[in-house]
Amino acid sequence: MATSEEAIASLVHAYAERIDAGDLEGVAGLFADATYRSARGVYEGGEAVLALLRRRVILHDGTPLTKHVITNLSIEVVETADTASARSYYTVLQATPALGLQPIVAGRYEDRFVRIRGTWRFTERFVHVDLVGDLSQHVRGGFT
């Protein structure tokens, strides 16, 4: 059985794996009962997150041709309250036929979780964008 920290780390990494695979529904499922926040807005629940992703993420033959690299993951668990928080850095790499391999955006995630019947789930993700490169092949409308 995974520790709380391992289960939470798996959730953080699942986001990266699903978005890089173009599994927008899978990403939205991670936020089914959560709030997704960024400088551009607040999105409540999986359906709102899915609508955001479909509107903004550019897919190239089914995937965004990205790799979301998660580093500096720090997790704090309050076992008695069935809650946790995590902070991490992300760097998104992309290579498309029109764009050579390069980092396109970097920033931080601030996450909150709750454990329900033994299963950890996102309750909130706040996406901070710190560095921005060429997003023309990744998202419609940029991050500004």
CATH number of 4-132: 3.10.450.50
pLDDT of residue 82: 97
Quick one: which H or E segment has residue 24?
A: helix 24-30
What pLDDT is attached to residue 143? 62
Per-position pLDDT tens, the chain of length 144: 789 999 999 999 999 999 999 999 999 999 999 999 998 899 999 999 999 999 999 999 999 999 999 999 999 999 999 999 999 999 999 999 999 999 999 999 999 999 999 999 999 999 999 999 999 999 998 765
Nearest CA among 26, 112, 16, 5 for reference residue 71: 16
What's the gap between Cα 16 and its chain centre?
Answer: 6
